[in-house]
Structures are given as C-alpha cells and as structure tokens.
Structure 1
Amino acid sequence: MIRIRVLKNAQAVPVGLRSGGHAGYDQSGFDIICSAVSVLEQNLANSVHALTDARFTCEIDEKTGTFLFQLIDQNDEKAGLLLASCLLGLEAVQEAYGNDYLTITDQEV
C-alpha cells in the first residue's frame, strides 16, 4: 500500500507531502496506481521548479518507493496551487482504486 502524508503547517495549510510503499495492484512495471502516483509527484517537483521561484526540498528513493517534497517558501501562491493540484490528483486516484492501495492522511509539521 502507498501511504501519503500531506504535510501541513500550524495553520493547516498544505506545505508538502511524504509518501512511501508500493500499491501492490500489479507486478512492478505494470502497477498503474504506482505509476499514477509517481507521475503526479514527479510532476509536482518539476512544475514547482520550472514555473515558480519557490524554494523546496525533494528527495526520491526509487528502491524503497519513498518521496518527500516540502516547500521552504510556504507563502508562494503558485507553488501552493501546484501542490493543491497534485493533491487533487492523488485524491482522485484514491477514490478510483480505494484505500486498499492508497491512503492519504494529514501530518502537522
């Protein structure tokens, strides 16, 4: 199962996300849920880098399937919108395939 934690600041505003695990929907290389999550997360980092001036940290470990993205500039509106868009996509994957493969929870940072 992929576990996603939405990182929120003290004002409950999303400022990043952390994920880990594998969906187990299909074998490696054919798992459409893992693929969807990977594309959304990588697109988040690429989009924030290319389309904003926001500073952020991003760590990816392909072996363990872990991903960490956190905005350093938490007040950047464009970066916040891109993060919200990514979260919307992740929630759509969860709704389509269910909690057996993907869970999303909040974590205050």
Structure 2
Amino acid sequence: MIKVDFYYNSEFKIKGFELRGHANYEEFGYDIVCASVTSNSIAVINSLENLQKVNFEKVLANEGHILCKVADEDLEKSQLLLEHLKLALVEISREYPKNIKIFEK
C-alpha cells in the first residue's frame, strides 16, 4: 500500500507531502496505481520548481519514497499545485482504496 502524508503549517496551508511504499496492485512495470501516483507527484515537484520557481526545504525521490517540503517563503505560490496533487491522489484512492491511503498532518 502507498501511504501518503500531506503536511500543513499552522495556517492550514499545505507545506508538502510524503509517499511511502508500493501499491502492489499489479507486478512491477504494470502497476497503474503506482505509476499514476508517482507520475502525478513528480510532475507537481517539477512544476513547483520549474514553473513556480519555489524553493524547497527538502526534496527526494527514491525507490518507494518521495518527499517534498516547500520553503516557508514560497508556500503561497505553491498551494494551487499542492491542492491539485491532493485532489488527484484522493481520486485515485477512491478508485483503489486497498492500494493507497491518505493522511493529513
């Protein structure tokens, strides 16, 4: 199962997200749940960096683990993309509830 944490600041703005694990929907290379979650997450990180020019506290992408935390000074301009990711992942989790779980912290 992919576990997704969305992190918030004290003003309830999304500060970042973290994905851990594997969907185990299908064998490696054919797992549409893992592919959609990963591609959406990496696309948002790339858009934050290249289109919005935000600074990050931390970004990493390893096998079974993606982490993205936006620097405080760029939270405002990152909200639309982070909310977009949350919406996309919530929709995926509705279709595949045994393969992805979302938490808010």
Tell me if both proteins adopt one fold, taking TM over 0.5 as the criterion.
yes
* Pairing 1:27–2:41 present: no
**TM-score where L is the length of structure 1:** 0.89
CA distance in 1, matches of 2:102, 2:68: 15
Q: Which residue of 2 aligns with 1:89?
A: 88
SS state at 2:48 partner: helix
- The 2-side partners of 1:91 and 1:23 are apart by 14
Displacement of 1:74 in angstroms is 5.0
Q: How far off its partner does 1:50 sit?
A: 1.1
Counterpart position of 2:70: 71
* 1:59 corresponding residue in structure 2: 60
One-letter amino acid of the structure 2 residue matched with residue 101 of structure 1: N
Contact 1:74 1:80 in 2 (8 A): no
TM-score, with structure 2 as normaliser = 0.92
Deviations 1:19-66 (A, max 9, x none): 10001100011000000000011001110011112101210112xx10
Matches of 2:34 and 2:2 in 1, distance apart?
8
- Tell me what 2:18 maps to: 18
- Runs of at least 4 residues of structure 1 off by over 6 A? none
Q: Quote how far apart the aligned CAs of 1:75 are.
A: 4.6
Gaps of 5+ in 1: none
Q: CA deviation at 1:12?
A: 2.2
- 1:101 pairs with 2:99: yes
Give the SS at the match of 1:90: helix
> Matches of 2:95 and 2:103 in 1, distance apart?
17
Name stretches of at least 5 consecutive residues in structure 2 with no aligned partner.
Answer: none
Q: CA deviation at 1:17?
A: 0.2
Percent identity, aligned pairs only, is: 29
